[in-house]
A and B are shown apart, each in its own frame.
Chain A
Amino acid sequence: MKKPLKIVTSNTLALTNFATAFALLLVGGFLGLVQGLNRAGVLEIVGGINYYEVLTLHGILLILAFTTLFMNGYLWSAVDYVLGGLTKGIRMLGWVAYGLFMFGSILVVIMVLAGEATVLYTFYAPMAASPWFYIGLVFVVLNIWLSGIGVFISAFRWKRRNKGAHLPLFAFFAVGVYVLITFSTMFVAAEVFYIIPWAFGWIDTINVMLTRTLFWAFGHTLVNVWYLVAVSAWYMVLPKVIGGKLFSDSLARAVVILIVVLNVPGGFHHQIVDPGFSEGLKFMHLFMSLAIAVPSLLTAFALFATLERTGRRRGGKGLLGWFWKLPWYDVRFLAIMLAMISFIFGGAGGIAQTNNQLNQVVHNTLWVVGHFHVTVGVAVVLTFFGLVYWLIPHLSGRVLTKKIHNLGIWQTMFWTVGMLFMTLSMSYVGLLGSPRRTEYTTYGGSETALAWDPYLLFVGAGGTLLMVGIVLIVYIVFHLMFLAPKGYTEFMVVEEQEEDAHKTPKWTENWGLWVIVAILIISMGYVVPLVDLIGNAPPGSPPIRTF
């Protein structure tokens, strides 16, 4: 008798998350194109919406909405698959979380479109949006917390059923991701609960620097969460796709733990040129920011070791022969590989720009926008794209056709070349001083500003290629959900580790300990500045609307 095929049980929930995510990507991406063309000086934005509303929506839809929904769809599927199914109660929880997300994000989008919340994704006080904008954000955060609870309960139950066994590594990644995003969203929740009464006018003034500091404890951690989601695919999916093995289970767990415990204080580097903090504090935070690079450096080694060993098993000879033996024509590999390569540059740029004096050179210029379009826009998002080719058909009970596979290769190329154009020109023009978050301007024909124009043209050109990439990926996702031939697609997860890997130590399983360590490290970074900001508070600000 044939064994029944193993599938993700909560597939409708996951597909709903993905469908929503890619619909939002289409809108958010289009808004990105509008900005790119505006910065290139070829498009004046007219018709009842302005550049900053476009920018606010682009940021929220892509860095918050698309990524959150993708994370939920992907990691819930992974947990479901490796832990042998989710219970009905947990699946219900997933639907409730999705409902809360939709409610909150619709509220947010309506407020922005109504011109009541042109405050960008960072919503820095004392610029004040309608209170309903912040209330919408609370519901988005609730989605994240409920999604985390679903994963924690499932993992806990599995552990109880399988006494003494290690939690499967994919589920371990999911636990790490949701622990980290819970930490980070606690800070933004605290900020938003402080802002809401102020935005309603129930309290007169707000401690601006306190809100800003709380925001960055959240804001940077958030993008590191998206990075950790991508890293989970690099460890768990990539070796399976190329027919290799996991380099080391214990190393992967150590990486997850390090990323989770070290991460939150890293956000302070967004405040290196802020007043109100001493140089000593900023230097300590340089240490805390750079510490986050350590798990990524471990990852770089482990992943290249996997690639090299697999390439050699496939017959690669000599120093670099293995490199060409990798399955470059397989889109599931190609997309993730290019994403990983981009992170070499994105990560190196990040290490450079967090050093205090170098940060002062690039702070709030287009350099930074170039940086996070490499890290989030390529390393994370191209990894996500690389997953849809098997994950969506697995969930929808269909198979990837050759034609769609080849379209995926084109999609990957458009994305990579578009991002190369856009991020290289952004990085360079940023060094020439062109500011981020600014509509096209020459500052009254200033020579300095006019010299930015040729580079900004490439931003527009890159944006155009990226838009083609978005249309392609949205079509591919749609096809894999509704049009592809019916059949079974395997869930890609690596099951073996290299023979020379060491046995995974027991202590990796102790999440209670890791949470305490994380709290200690967060305290090291934030107790001093937060106590100072509250105890020795500067005079506050009333709500101000300049949009």
Chain B
Amino acid sequence: MKMNKMEEIWMIIAVGLIIIAMGITGYQAFAMGMGPPSHQEHIDPQAIESHPEFSEPGVYELGDNQYEVIMTLQAFEFQPGEITVPEGAEVTFRMATKDVVHGVNVPHTNLNTMVVPGFIQEITQTFHEAGEYIMVCNEYCGVGHHMMSATITVEE
């Protein structure tokens, strides 16, 4: 199809910008390890209480300022509901839901993910600044959805 000359120039610039955006996103995801949370591990949502790992939700120290949080979600609470880690801690959250779909967001961080029945989701966040953070459910999960939150305290 023949196009107007000016339009060809416009399209080259516009498509070029899109390709640059893709390049940056791809570079960040694959070379810098900043890709979105994409863990692929199954779990039976009806058997979480008896699951070897998720039957005991809590904060576990793995190494030098490295922590793992085993977390279960259900309407309308996170377990554990209060998490305390030191400043600079690298925390890996392993999460599973016992009932419906939930979302997890910690405002002012990049921790933002879905937790879908049938899957374990994993996301890692380093808390560089001390303070009180809230973790909120950001996917509608029922009548008490707006009450579903947890606190993360990062101590100096």
Contacts and interface: CB of A to CB of B under 8 A. Distances in A.
Interface of A: 50-52, 55, 118, 120, 124, 126-127, 207-209, 212, 248, 250-251, 254, 271-279, 282-283, 286-287, 290, 293-294, 297-298, 301-302, 305, 351, 355-361, 363-365, 432-441, 443-444, 446-449, 500, 502, 505, 538-542, 544, 546-547
Contact of B7 (A120, A209, A301, A542): A301
Interface string B44-83: 1111000000000000000000000000000110000000
A449 B149 CA distance: 11
B137 A276 contact: no
A357 B122 CA distance: 16
B136 A435 contact: yes
Nearest to B120: A275
A355 B110 contact: no
Contacts of A290: 18, 21-22
Contacts of B10: 297, 301
A286 B25 contact: yes
B28 interface: yes
Determine the main DSSP class of B at the interface with A.
mixed
23 contacts: A126-B101, A273-B113, A275-B114, A282-B38, A283-B29, A297-B10, A297-B14, A356-B35, A358-B25, A360-B110, A364-B112, A433-B136, A438-B145, A439-B146, A441-B146, A448-B132, A500-B4, A538-B117, A539-B45, A539-B118, A540-B118, A541-B118, A546-B142
Interface string B110-141: 10111111111110000000001110111111
A5 B155 CA distance: 79
Contacts of B133: 448
Given A364-B112, A502-B2, A443 B25 contact: no
B109 to A, nearest CB: 9
Contacts of A505: 1
A293 B76 CA distance: 39
Interface of B: 1-4, 6-7, 10-11, 14-15, 18, 21-22, 24-26, 28-30, 34-47, 75-76, 99-101, 103, 105-108, 110, 112-122, 132-134, 136-147, 149, 151
A440 B146 contact: yes
A251 B2 CA distance: 9
A448 B107 contact: yes
Given A248-B4, A272-B36, A279-B30, A546 B121 contact: no
Nearest to B100: A127
Contacts of A436: 138
Contacts of A438: 136, 138, 140, 145-146
Contact of A502 (B1, B14, B105, B137): B1
Q: Which 8 A-B pairs have the closest CB atoms?
A: A433-B107, A546-B142, A538-B118, A435-B138, A539-B44, A275-B119, A441-B146, A275-B121
A211 to B, nearest CB: 10
B38 A297 contact: no
A419 B40 CA distance: 40
B103 A364 contact: yes
A446 B134 contact: yes
B8 to A, nearest CB: 10
Contact of A433 (B4, B41, B46, B105): B105
Given A124-B101, A363-B112, 15 more contacts: A127-B101, A209-B118, A274-B38, A283-B30, A294-B15, A357-B25, A357-B34, A360-B37, A364-B139, A365-B138, A432-B108, A437-B145, A539-B44, A539-B118, A546-B141
Contacts of B146: 51, 438-441
Contact of A435 (B42, B105, B122): B105
Contact of A546 (B75, B112, B138): B75
Contact of B43 (A118, A539, A542): A539
B36 A278 contact: no
A179 to B, nearest CB: 20
B11 to A, nearest CB: 6
Contacts of A305: 4, 6-7
A254 B124 CA distance: 44
A437 B100 contact: no
Nearest to A205: B46
Contacts of A446: 132, 134, 149, 151
B116 A539 contact: no
A274 B116 contact: yes
Interface centre among B15, B106, B149 (most CB of A within 10 A): B149
Given A435-B136, A437-B139, A446-B149, A208 B11 contact: no
Given A273-B37, A278-B38, A446-B149, A541 B117 contact: yes
Nearest to B45: A541
Contacts of A124: 100-101, 139
